Structure 1
Amino acid sequence: MDGAGYVPRMVDSLLSELVTQLPALLMVGPRATGKTTTARRLARSTVRLDRPVEAAAFRADPDTALRALPEPVLLDEWQEVPDVLGAVKRAVDDDPRPGRFLLTGSVMADLETRTWPGTGRVVRLPLYGLTVREADRRSPGTLFIDRLATAELDALTVPADPPDLLGYIELALRGGFPDTVLRLSGLARRAWLAGYLDQLVTRDAQHVESRRDPDRLRRYVEALALTTAAVTTDETIVRAANLDRRTVVAYERLMTNLFVLDQIPAWSTQRLQRLVKRPKRYLVDSSLLGAALRATPRAVLRDGHLLGRVIDTFVVAQIRPELALSPLEPRLYHLRQEDGRREIDLLIELGGDQVVALEIKATAAPTTSDARHLVWLRDQLEERFVAGAVLHTGPRAFRIDDRVFALPISTLWG
């Protein structure tokens, strides 16, 4: 049952459906994004493995400890007692009934190894911070990606009260962590985010890879904040953080394993030549950009370079949760030619070899010039190009060209 204060998540219906058919589910994502709260609604037993008293039995004999609990069992912060994964595997092998185990965690490292015991037995489901749609308790409705794929302007509804540019910046720096969205504001919110970063570069990082220097890691996170939403080389980060390349590569792996850094790969096709192959790096939540750089909304408004990074990172944070939910099975990419002449901020590849594409602009009055790369891509891909949109900070939605629209960013949660 929903608690009185529970904020419905877009993933809820899918999670409920999967529990009725699969024996074990693992919810992964950044720390403090609501994984435990969401999963606990479906569990009869909850074990907090980050609490030494509760973890003791699972360290001693995880198989026996599991058998003693009413199912479904929620094992929160599984990475604190990694042997629990082996116990879940053995339990599922012996009895593959659906709805037996829910696991939550904020570390990716062990999930990427070939020896991970959950392969083929534990299905992963990502959960990120609250989107604006969720925070405002708007009806889930149809996902933005699915609406855009209709290529119909009438399907792309704009809310009655769209933000202005400053409003979008404030939403971005608020971010998606439930505490910062639902409980805190002003100085308390900034203090919470500063504390989040402190724990990230000290306790969380040490848990995954020991002997990491918190001061050097903090410089790396600040460099990420300065370059989020950009196609950058390792050398750019090396200079920005004043670190050697080997350290930067190690920190990149670490932040990816902690679900703080997301890399969107470059798209490739035989129809287009000389495309950049480097990924775009994104901080997974736009509030971390503001916290790392101690940036206020007014400061972002005065810095055109930073403004673009903030808006771009915010938009991707609204779209990322849809990837696991859309029946179109979307995959997220970016596109950029080596000479920089053509660039698409986000290219979403759909099933059936079709694509939709997005440009993100911090302008209230987009023009045909803002859509020129989308029109070029449409002409290159012909029938593979379903629709494109310039997401902007103004209030109006309108058609720019055939299958190319100008849409307020708020259309994402319309």
Structure 2
Amino acid sequence: MGGYVPRLLDAELADVVATHPAVLVVGPRACGKTTTTRRHCRSVLRLDVPAQAALARVDPDVALRGLEEPVLIDEWQVVPEILGAVKRAVDDDPRPGRFVLTGSAQADLTSSGWPATGRIVRLTMFPLVGRERHGDAAAPSLIDRLFSDGADVLADSAVDQDVEGYVTEALTSGWPEALRVPTDRARDRWLRGYVDHLATREALALGLARDPSRLRRYLQAVAANTAGTPTHKLLYDAAGIDRATAVGYDTLLESLMITQRVPSWAGNRTDRALRLPKRFLIDPGLLGPLLLVDHRRALRDPDLLGRTLDTLVAAQFRAECTVSTIGADLFHLRDANGRREIDLIIESRDGHVLAIEVKATSSPSSHDARHLEWLRDQLGNRFTMGLVVHTGPRVFRLADRVLAVPLAALWSSALR
């Protein structure tokens, strides 16, 4: 992978820079925030450079003065006082396109207050997904297109991909640096180093006291249950820690955007908080270093294969939700007795629903669509479409408003 890879966030970031004075881009470490934001800015204040950080500490207002705008303030958390200077600059002159900030999630974890509330727009960036790696990142959100155009979005041409290719896609990860290295061995080394950094340095850099071995065990427990709905007790027992410690680890890992809890969906919103969330690794490439598996192991283990593909599909839709202009939120569905489960539910702000099932098969049948048909019958016109995402080559109809869709059709030229 050479040169700049266009990102889903590019269009949204350009729009925010054109209409707001300041924007903060958040995302997991090394997902490409600095590379992308630099393309939208005319000057850079790098606070990870000691000389530039020293000036910002002495007088953050002076550090910003005279820089050509938009100014990228990279690694803002190194000198948190810079946020106050941004606030003052925006208060004095609220022209659009003045500042773009990037950095860690330190404010979410350690700051007692956020001095720029109401003055900085927050955007979210994730590791590379399929549409950025193989498709058209400049196209409108897939979610918006599915809600507006339905089945017409999906072409019926064959997709040249199989289950082995999908597992390889998942385990190579979406981190740009990991994808740039020339060999599988080098990529594995980079991903193992990423996990080691999370466990041994990231928490300490945020001023949080964590036991690296216990944090790693807890993250391994989450990885083993990615795309599942484990009880919290199952996870902290597996890691050999107590509940209070596990709660702290959850806060840390979610703030660092390494894990996500997807809430349960129900027709009555008040029911959602009463049900177990579905847990995901943000990127399936972390499965390799955490569980010590490769694509051959995943292909031999049906449970691991299913979790790998589910995590890959969730990554695509999570990223699409962040750039949706109609507004969309991600859920999962599991009824009270566990007889009906749907892997992902995407609800638009007007209450319409897309439902997704992920199946590790190249030939899905109407049996695989039964829970989607049940939800369709429950929701009526609110049910826009159900997708059975599979590893075969073609799009085809399984039932009214329910399609079988190859996983690669979520990002490939098979999208009209």
Match of 1:69 in 2: 67
For 2:269 and 2:278, the matched residues in 1 are separated by: 22
Aligned equivalent of 1:136, options 134, 137, 141: 134
Match of 1:44 in 2: 42
Match of 1:17 in 2: 15
> Are residues 1:104 and 2:102 paired?
yes
Match of 1:53 in 2: 51
- The 3-state SS of whatever aligns with 1:263 is strand
Given residue 155 of structure 2, which amino acid in structure 1 is its aligned partner? T
Match of 1:30 in 2: 28
For 2:158 and 2:402, the matched residues in 1 are separated by: 22
1:234–1:107 Cα change, 3 Å = same
1:214–1:158 Cα change, 3 Å = farther
For 1:275 and 1:375, the matched residues in 2 are separated by: 25
Match of 2:163 in 1: 165
Of 135-144 and 330-339, the range deviating more from structure 2: 135-144
For 2:270 and 2:89, the matched residues in 1 are separated by: 50
TM-score normalised by L of structure 2: 0.94
Per the TM alignment, residue 357 of structure 1 is displaced from its structure 2 partner at its CA by 0.6
1:172–1:148 Cα change, 3 Å = same
1:150–1:123 Cα change, 3 Å = closer
For 1:283 and 1:235, the matched residues in 2 are separated by: 18
- The 3-state SS of whatever aligns with 1:98 is coil
Of 136-145 and 210-219, the range deviating more from structure 2: 136-145
- The 3-state SS of whatever aligns with 1:87 is helix
Match of 1:335 in 2: 333
For 2:169 and 2:87, the matched residues in 1 are separated by: 41
CA deviations on 1:64-111 (whole Å, 9 max, x unpaired) are: 211142221111111222111111111111110111100012316438
Aligned equivalent of 2:282, options 281, 284, 301: 284
For 2:267 and 2:163, the matched residues in 1 are separated by: 35
Contact in 2 for aligned 1:135/1:181 (Cα 8 Å): no
Match of 2:296 in 1: 298
Match of 1:310 in 2: 308
Given residue 332 of structure 2, which amino acid in structure 1 is its aligned partner? H
Given residue 122 of structure 2, which amino acid in structure 1 is its aligned partner? R
Per the TM alignment, residue 327 of structure 1 is displaced from its structure 2 partner at its CA by 2.2
Match of 1:156 in 2: 154
- The 3-state SS of whatever aligns with 1:281 is strand
Aligned equivalent of 2:394, options 374, 393, 396: 396
For 2:406 and 2:117, the matched residues in 1 are separated by: 41
- The 3-state SS of whatever aligns with 2:276 is coil
RMSD: 2.1
Pairing 1:227-242 to 2, within 5 Å after superposition: 227-242=225-240
Q: Percentage identity across aligned positions? A: 51
Given residue 81 of structure 1, which amino acid in structure 2 is its aligned partner? V
- The 3-state SS of whatever aligns with 1:117 is coil
- The 3-state SS of whatever aligns with 1:188 is helix
For 1:256 and 1:212, the matched residues in 2 are separated by: 15
For 2:360 and 2:147, the matched residues in 1 are separated by: 23
Mark the runs of 5 or more structure 2 residues left unpaired by the alignment: none
| Misfit runs of 4+, over 6 Å | 111-114, 271-275
Per the TM alignment, residue 51 of structure 1 is displaced from its structure 2 partner at its CA by 2.7
Of 269-278 and 85-94, the range deviating more from structure 2: 269-278
Given residue 21 of structure 2, which amino acid in structure 1 is its aligned partner? P
For 2:122 and 2:166, the matched residues in 1 are separated by: 32
Contact in 1 for aligned 2:8/2:132 (Cα 8 Å): yes
Mark the runs of 5 or more structure 1 residues left unpaired by the alignment: none
Per the TM alignment, residue 138 of structure 1 is displaced from its structure 2 partner at its CA by 3.4
Contact in 2 for aligned 1:274/1:338 (Cα 8 Å): no
Contact in 2 for aligned 1:276/1:335 (Cα 8 Å): no
Match of 2:351 in 1: 353
1:259–1:244 Cα change, 3 Å = same
Per the TM alignment, residue 382 of structure 1 is displaced from its structure 2 partner at its CA by 0.8
- The 3-state SS of whatever aligns with 1:236 is helix
Number of residue pairs matched by the alignment: 411
Match of 2:221 in 1: 223
Match of 2:177 in 1: 179
Contact in 2 for aligned 1:47/1:74 (Cα 8 Å): yes
For 2:231 and 2:398, the matched residues in 1 are separated by: 34
